Amino acid sequence: MEQQKMDQQPMDRQREMRVGLVGLGNMGARMAQRLIEAGFDLAVCDTRDEVLDQFEKLGARGFRLPAELASESDVVLTVLPDANVVQKVVLGQPSASGGVSGGGLIDGLRSNSVVVDMTSSLPDVTRAISRQLTERGVAMLDAPVTGGISGAQAGTLTIMVGGDMTVLERVREPLEVLARVIVHVGPIGSGHTAKALNNLITATTLTVTAEAMALGVRMGLDPERLLEVINQGSARSASSEVKFPQQILSGRYDRGFTMALMAKDLGIALGMGQQAGLSMPVSSSVNELWKMGVSAGMGDRDHTAIAQLIEQTAGVSLRSDT
C-alpha cells in the first residue's frame, strides 16, 4: 500500500499530457474545471450540449462520442453513475443483434493509452473491462474517490487506486491536481472494492448516529447538546463531526451524493460479502433501511436525508433551533 499527501500544483502552466474526461455531473464537472485551470489540454464528453458548450467556453474540447474523445487523449478519466454506464461508455452501446454497436472509448483509444475509471463501480465489471482493454494494448486503473463535491472543487479528494503501480505513475500528474491523498490499494478492481467498503462504513455510521440522535431527542435531549457530547467522546465519526452539523441540524441536505447512489454502493458491498461467503448481519440491516428510503421515493435526495426517514419513524425533528 502506498499513501502520499500531495501539495497543490501550480495552476497556470501548460501540461503536455492530453487528458479526456467523460461525465460532467456533480463530481466530473468540478474535476474538469480543475484540470483546465491546471493547464491540461482537456477534452470532455457528455450527452448534454449545453454542458459541453459551457466547458468549451472554458477552453476544453467538447465531444459527443466517447470514441472521438479517446482518439484525442493520452489518458481518459470516466466519472459516471454506475457500472452499466461505464460498460457502455468504454465498450460501446449494445446493438440490436446482441453485439456492440461501436462508439465506445475502446474504438478510439490508441495503444499505450490509459483509462482511469473514477466511478463507484463493480470490481468484477472493472476486471472484465480491463481484460478487453489489455487486448488492445490499453491500460486501466480503477480510481474512485471520496471527499464529495467540496473536495472535487478544492482538489482535496482521496483517490483509492487499483491496478499496476507503473501505470499509476504514468498518470499521477493529473490525479495530483484532483487529490490531496492517493492510495494504491492493490491490483485492478481493488479501488472499487475499497470504495464500496468505505461507503458501507459511512452509511452505517450516519444511520446509527441518526437513530441515536432521534432517540435522544425523543427522550428530551437537545440535538445540539447531544451532538456536542458525541463529538467529544468515543462515538464521534465523520458523520457526526461533519455531516450532522453541516447537513442535518442545518436542514441543508446538499452534500451532493444521492441516497440512490449510496444504496447502490451498499448493494455492491453486500454482494461482495455474499461472494466471499461472509455473513454481515449489521450491514444487511443498514442496507434494508437505505432500500426503504429509495422505495419511499427519496432516491434522488441527498444521502444525508436518510436522517429525515429516521425522523419520520421516530416522530421527532433533528433540526437545530439556531
Query: Residues 66, 43: contact at Cβ < 8 Å?
Result: no
Could you count the other beta carbons within 10 Å of the beta carbon of residue 321? 8
Which helix (DSSP H) or strand (DSSP E) does residue 20 occupy? Answer: strand 18-22
To which H or E segment does residue 312 belong?
helix 306-314
| DSSP single-letter state for residue 187 | S
Name residue 265's beta-bridge partners: none
Q: Cβ(71)–Cβ(108) under 8 Å?
A: yes
Which of the residues 5, 57, 88, 195 is marked catalytic?
195
Residue type, 188: I
213 in Cβ contact with 317 (< 8 Å): no
Are residues 227 and 245 in contact, defined by beta-carbon separation less than 8 angstroms? Answer: yes
195 in catalytic set? yes
Q: CA angle, corner 191, sides to 38 and 24, nearest 5?
A: 45
Question: Within 13 Å of residue 233, how many CA atoms lie on the same side as its CB?
Answer: 7
What are the φ and ψ backbone dihedral angles of 68, each rounded to 5 degrees?
-65, -45
C-alpha angle with apex 282: 279 to 288, nearest 5 degrees? 100
**What is the distance between the alpha carbons of residues 268 and 120, in angstroms, rounded to a whole number?**
9
d(CA 133, CA 248): 43
CA gap 176, 182 in Å, rounded: 8
Just list the catalytic residues. Answer: 195
